[in-house]
Amino acid sequence: MPFGRPLACGFYEDLPYASREGAERELETLVEEFGARPGWALTPVVRRDGADAAAKKRKLTEIYCSQVDESSVEAMSRYAEQYEGERIWANERLADLVRSGVDGWLS
């Protein structure tokens, strides 16, 4: 029996890898495996950046031009545009915080 509420916990999708072909199926498999463990169920939630999410992502990733090439920057921008933000796989507590719009959940 737990002594208190579980900590808010989540996982960002690692970009640009999460945007490659076949990654969605791999992710589904991992989520199923985690969910089979009591208390480890993960659900997708999106931290919304709005309609300009792709532009924001491009601006931020271009800072790392020595580490990512243009095709990676483009893939990350398209992914952000698809979700209008960043998709996170979260436990129930973090999912509730993200959905409620509570500021500071990331810190």
Give tens-digit pLDDT for 60-103.
Answer: 888 888 888 989 888 889 888 888 888 889 888 888 888 887 65
For a pLDDT cut of 70, what percent of the chain falls above it?
90
Q: Give the sign of the dihedral formed by CA 102, CA 104, CA 106, CA 107.
A: negative
Q: Rounded mean pLDDT of 40-52?
A: 85
Q: Where are the beta strands (DSSP E) in 33-103?
A: 43-48, 85-90
Give the separation between CA 98 and CA 81, rounded to whole angstroms: 19
Q: Record the tokens describing residue 35, joined without a space.
A: 């969910």
Which pairing describes strands 10-12 and 85-90: parallel, antiparallel, or unpaired?
antiparallel
pLDDT band (50, 70, 90) for residue 5: low
Distances (CA, A) of 73 to 27, 52, 54, 80, 104: 21, 15, 10, 11, 27
User: pLDDT averaged over the chain?
Assistant: 83
- Sequence ranges of the domains in the chain: 12-100
Task: Give the pair of three-digit tokens for residue 7.
Answer: 């900590």
pLDDT of residue 4: 61
Q: HSE on the CB side for 87, CA within 13 Å?
A: 20
pLDDT at 50: 80
Hey, which residues does 87 pair with through a beta bridge?
A: 46
Residue 25's pLDDT band (boundaries 50, 70, 90)?
very high
Residue 41 scores a pLDDT above 80: yes
Q: Which two tokens stand for residue 11?
A: 């996982």
Asked if the model's pLDDT at residue 1 lies above 60, the reply is: no
